Each structure stands twice: as C-alpha cells, then as structure tokens.
Structure 1
Amino acid sequence: MVDKDISTLATALLERVDELAKEMTARIRSGSRDYDVVPTEDLEEACRTHLTNALHGLTAQVPVDTAAAADIGRRRALQNVPLPAVMRAYRVGVRYYWEAVALEAGSTTPVASDKLVAAASAMWGLHDSITEAMVSGYHDTVAQRLLASEHERSALVEALLDGRSMDADVLWSAAEVLGVPRTGPFTVVAAEVPQIGRQALPEVAAVLSRRGILSAWRLRPDLQLGIVYLRTSRHLDDLTEVLRQHAEHRVGVSPPYDQLSHTGDALHFAKVAMRSGDAESNAVTVFDDSPVEVATAGAPDVMARVATKVLGPVEALPADERELLLDTLDAWYGCGGSADKAAKLLYVHPNTVRTRLRRISERTGRSLTDPRGITELVLALRAVRQTPKAPSSKPAVTTKTADG
C-alpha cells in the first residue's frame, strides 16, 4: 500500500535525483579510499540508479529493479573493490537517502510521522532486496574470474609440463600468472591418482601455502602434477613431509631445477621417481635420494628381464612363501645388511632372517656376501616391487613357510 503523501514526496525527490546522486557520490568517496578505482561517472550513475529505483518503489510506479543492482555488483567485482567496502558504501548511501527523505518530509512536502515510519519500513525492505542482488552479482563475477584464472593457470602448467617451447616473455608471463618467481629452484611432483578424475593430493596447494610454499597443480587422468617453488632449502623437506602425510599412492619428486623452461625434463624425472616406489604402497620418492630405485625404474623393460633372470626361482614359489622371502630380503637391505636389525623390524629371531636369506642364495645362486650378487638381487627386488600386481580371483593357498 502506497500513501499519497509519500508518493508525492518521492516524486518531488525524483526531480532532484541528479543533485542527490552527486551528493551521495561525494559521501561514499569521503568514507572509503577503496572507491578511488571507481570512475566518478560510474559511481554517480550507480547512485542515480539506486536513488531512482528506491524512489520509484515509494511511488509504486514500477517494480523494484534488482537486475540493475546485480549489474553494479558485477562492476565492483571487476574493479576489484572489496565486498566489505561495497557494503559500507551501500550503508552510507541508504543513510543519505533517508536523510533526504526525512528532510523533504519536514520542509516542502510535509508527511505525518506515522506515514514516515511506514515508509522507513518499506525502505529497509527495498534496501535488503537491492543489497542481496548486488552481493549475488558480485559473487557470481568473483566465481567466474576465479574459474577463468584457474583455467589459465591449469593451461600454463600443462604447457610447462609438456615442455613446449616458450620465449622469455611468455615464460615471465607464465611465472606471473602462476604466482611464482621467474627463476627457481623449482621441483616437479608426480602423484598417482586413486582413480580417474580424482585428485591424489586434495587441497595440497592450500596446505603448502600455509607453510609458505608456492605451487601450481594440474590433474591428468592418471596423475596429479605440481610445479613447486623451493624458496629455501628447508622447503624441500617441508614438501616431502606434506606429501608423506597426504599421499595414498606413489609420489615422485624431481631434482631441483632453476628455469621454468626445464619443467618438461623435470617431469620425466618425477615420473621415474614415482615409479621407483613399491607399486602397492604410498611411497614418496625423491629422485636424488634414491639412486638405486630410480635407476631400476628408469628402464622397466630391461629390469623386468633382470628380475625374471635373478629372482625367477623365488618367484616360482607359492605366494606366501615367496612374499616372506622377498620381504626378508627387502628388510635386510633396508637395514644396511644387518640381520639383527631386520629381525627386529620383522619381529623374528635373527637366525630366522639368516635362514631365509640362505634359502634365497640357494635358489638364486647369488651370494649375499658378494657385492655383485647383492647388487643383482637388490636391483631385481626393486624391479619386482615396482611392478603392480595383477588382481587374482584365486583363493590364497596356505603352504609351509620359508623357515621350513
């Protein structure tokens, strides 16, 4: 219900809307430096639009135009005006608007106080509708910009990982968009995904950012890949710690490199490092820290033949006995060739470890006191561990253990 006196008052103010818009603009500018980026003509137009909209609402001549408010919200988002500053500007604007209404009601167009109270209630309802539309437009634009920015980042990461040729200017632009310096050291991370379309390391960029580590990531069908800036030597340790805390499958970390143009080469090393971990584990392998493992993973076809030649007699054993022997060899090697340490790791007696190692030597013909024999067994073991096992539908068969 629109009162005749209120409608008359609103009509009188509409005749002065340009004057009111200029004064509202001045008040908003004086209260916030965030609006320095908004051209005066733009701000005056927005004030004029909102004043006209609000006054027409009091006259009931036209419905409230929330689309105009949404458009203004989009403009402010594109101008990078913080949303809290926009909200403050709206509060300043509505306060001035009501001052103008009250002043008019007390002078040239008298309105009874009860009618003015009713108009105030209508005004706040109108203000809520306009503000909600503005915020909605603002958020939509921010979301679109973030999505476009993420697409751009993802495309640049993909181009760098593919090793595409880029001139210096393009590389500098890529560094700026990715939020990393133009020179390193950098490293590439390659992580196996749990299944197609799922991230191997969800939220990893945010987790690293909280530690002061900059990174950019790309999801491929089989891998999640990242370019990480190592500002300090400590950041590599922090990176591997985060990866070990969050990895569900194998992860590889390349050697550090200084130029973004070498990212494609680093990706190759990261993949090799990833493949060097046990296929059924969530191992995080740093290329430079694991020379034996990465050497094995670097030539999978060759090492598969070596594994068959060296460990074939052990692989031919029943599954449970075979795994017992291989686990013992793995533990013994990991403990620096100490049967006592391996026994503690496996929760068995040291003599049990020695018995199992002797069976491996007997079946393979390789001595675990001969450097050459140890080398061949270890390389073959790494090749076996790095190969994913095919799923089997056969039930497990219980046999005697390798301890006799």
Structure 2
Amino acid sequence: MPDTAVAAPSVRQEASRDRRDPPWSRHRLVASLLDGSCPLADLRRAAVALGMPLVGSYRVVALHASGQARRAAGRAALGTAHGHVHWHGSRPVEHAIVLLGDPDRPDLVDEHQVAALPAGVRIGVSMPVEGLAALTDARRQAVSALHLCPPQGGYVDLSAHLPAAVLDADPALADRLRTQVLGPLATAGPDHTLLLDTFAAWVDSDGSTREAARRLDCHRNTVTNRLHRLERLTGRRVDRPADLVDLTLALAAHRRTRRQHDGQPR
C-alpha cells in the first residue's frame, strides 16, 4: 500500500512544485537516489517526483544494450506486471526502479520473454529492498547481477546467484580460490577444459549424469569417468558436501575469469 505520508496535505505544495520542475531536475533527483547522494531531507520530494511511496518493496533493474531497438526490447521484457516502473535513462547502463506489486514473486519477467531478447541485451535484477532509502544498495546489486550475465545476453536475478556475486565483489579472492582448487587440473594437459566443462554440465544438470551426458552428447559413463578424474586431480570429491562447495565456488570463479577474457562489457 502507498505510504500515506506521500499524499498528506503537508506535501501538496511540494508535489505542485515538483510538477513544475524541469525534466533535468527530476532526472538529477532520481540519479541521487540511485547513487546514494540524495539527502534524507529530500526523500519525500523524491517520492513525489516518482509517484512512489517512501515505504514499500522495491527492486532495481540494470539494463545494458547497444542501440535504441535493443534497449526498447529490454524495457519491454520487464513490462509492468509488478506495478509502477520508473526508467532512469543513462549510458551505458539504464536503470529501472520497480515498485513490487507482489514482493514474493520470484521473477520480474518470464522465461519466454527472456528467450525472445535480442542478442547482446543483458538485464540484472537486485534482490527486493524496503523503502526508497535502500535504492542505492539495490542499484549496486543490480549492477552485480548484470556483471554475471553472459556476454551474448540474458537475465540474471541476483537472488539466485549470491555465491557468484560474492566472488565478483572480491576479484583477488575469487582468483585465489580458483587457482587453489582448480590449479591441479593443469596437469591434465589438453583435457583441462574438457574436465571443467564436464563438471559444469553436471552442476548445471543438478548432479544428473544422464542429463549432463545429454548436454555433452556423450555416454553417461564418460561423464562419470571424467568426474572421477577431476576428483583425483583436485583431491576433492563431488559427493562430499564441503568439497562440492569448494568445487562449485571455484567453478563460479572460473566462469567469472572466462567472462572477462571474452571481453564482456562491465
């Protein structure tokens, strides 16, 4: 429900003034909400300018797309299913402030809309936050999610990728983990990439050797043999929880390094 303070008689004059403000002034006010420079005293004015409550559940969306048509497609994929959406135009990344109609709804877009996105459109979404004052944190989260998108395009909700986001927040530690856990695979020579890709397919298949074999177009026994070889080289077993945590986090760090080598825009 909207915060009643926004509609109170005491802010009617403020609302009237905001309607007379030039567009660049409102643009600057919203920018200050997102970058953390908005004074607390201006939060009520920002709420009026946005037509959004001071208190409510929000997400911030970060959109990276080259060209007007791709940006329009990215905006359209978000839609308005969650109530009020305010787009803040900026380059190279645009942001949307979304007032959630249903805070428990897991996604802002459905998989069909994501599949229809043009190549190169990347969308990162923050976790839900409470109140306009938390939008700065939400913007940082949305940008972190954007960094996790594959370079060819896609949609990442940070809520489902927290371990990878933690690694992205400390690149040096992520690289140290990758080297420590996966470094021994270098002794496999040319099979180094094959073993990693097999483990990645197995992880992405929720630990199903059958599904991993289907994705890799090989026999399930081949997947099992490669996983055993990875275990011998790394000294970690995929059926031991603590070891699996190390391996999956190291895989996430490896994927982060690969994205950088692929030249993904940040």
**Shared fold (TM-score, shorter chain, > 0.5):** yes
Post-superposition offset of 1:240: 5.7
**Aligned equivalents of 1:190 and 1:315: distance in 2?**
37
**Aligned equivalents of 1:236 and 1:368: distance in 2?**
29
**Aligned equivalents of 1:239 and 1:178: distance in 2?**
22
Post-superposition offset of 1:155: 2.1
- Say whether the 8 Å CA contact 1:243–1:284 is kept in structure 2: yes
Residues 1:186 and 2:61 are matched in the alignment: no
- Say whether the 8 Å CA contact 2:231–2:238 is kept in structure 1: yes
Quote the residue 2:146 is aligned against. Answer: 274
**Aligned equivalents of 1:283 and 1:205: distance in 2?**
13
| Residues 378 and 177 (structure 1), Cα distance of their counterparts in 2 relative to 1, 3 Å cut | same
**Aligned equivalents of 1:369 and 1:236: distance in 2?**
30
Quote the residue 1:216 is aligned against. Answer: 86
Post-superposition offset of 1:367: 2.0
SS of 1:157's equivalent? helix
> What is the aligned counterpart of 2:213 among 338, 343, 358?
343
Post-superposition offset of 1:379: 0.6
Post-superposition offset of 1:309: 1.7
**Aligned equivalents of 1:282 and 1:205: distance in 2?**
14
> What is the aligned counterpart of 2:226 among 352, 356, 360?
356
**Aligned equivalents of 2:240 and 2:82: distance in 1?**
48
- Say whether the 8 Å CA contact 2:195–2:226 is kept in structure 1: yes
Per-residue CA deviation, residues 320-360 of structure 1 (Å, 9 max, x unaligned), is x4433222111211222221222123232111111221222
**Aligned equivalents of 2:186 and 2:64: distance in 1?**
26
**Aligned equivalents of 2:246 and 2:106: distance in 1?**
32
Quote the residue 1:367 is aligned against. Answer: 237
- Say whether the 8 Å CA contact 2:29–2:38 is kept in structure 1: no
> What is the aligned counterpart of 1:166 among 39, 45, 48?
39
**Aligned equivalents of 1:210 and 1:296: distance in 2?**
32
Residues 1:298 and 2:156 are matched in the alignment: no
- Say whether the 8 Å CA contact 2:107–2:157 is kept in structure 1: no
Q: Percent identity?
A: 31
Per-residue CA deviation, residues 22-41 of structure 1 (Å, 9 max, x unaligned), is xxxxxxxxxxxxxxxxxxxx
**Aligned equivalents of 2:36 and 2:110: distance in 1?**
24
- Say whether the 8 Å CA contact 1:205–1:216 is kept in structure 2: no
**Aligned equivalents of 2:186 and 2:62: distance in 1?**
30
Structure 2 unaligned regions, length at least 5: 1-18
SS of 1:345's equivalent? helix
SS of 2:36's equivalent? coil
Amino acid at match of 1:174: A
Post-superposition offset of 1:284: 2.3
Amino acid at match of 1:294: A
Post-superposition offset of 1:244: 5.8
- Say whether the 8 Å CA contact 1:154–1:217 is kept in structure 2: no
Quote the residue 1:308 is aligned against. Answer: 179
> What is the aligned counterpart of 2:135 among 259, 263, 282?
263
Amino acid at match of 1:331: A
TM-score relative to the length of structure 2: 0.75
SS of 2:56's equivalent? strand
Tell me which protein shows more helix as a share of its residues. 1
**Aligned equivalents of 1:346 and 1:326: distance in 2?**
12
SS of 1:237's equivalent? coil
| Residues 322 and 384 (structure 1), Cα distance of their counterparts in 2 relative to 1, 3 Å cut | same
Post-superposition offset of 1:370: 2.2
Post-superposition offset of 1:264: 0.8
Quote the residue 2:159 is aligned against. Answer: 288
TM-score relative to the length of structure 1: 0.52
Per-residue CA deviation, residues 262-285 of structure 1 (Å, 9 max, x unaligned), is 1111122222333344x4453422
SS of 1:183's equivalent? coil
SS of 1:202's equivalent? helix
**Aligned equivalents of 2:88 and 2:127: distance in 1?**
19
| Residues 208 and 305 (structure 1), Cα distance of their counterparts in 2 relative to 1, 3 Å cut | closer
| Equivalences, count | 240
- Say whether the 8 Å CA contact 1:199–1:219 is kept in structure 2: no
Post-superposition offset of 1:232: 2.0
Amino acid at match of 2:39: M
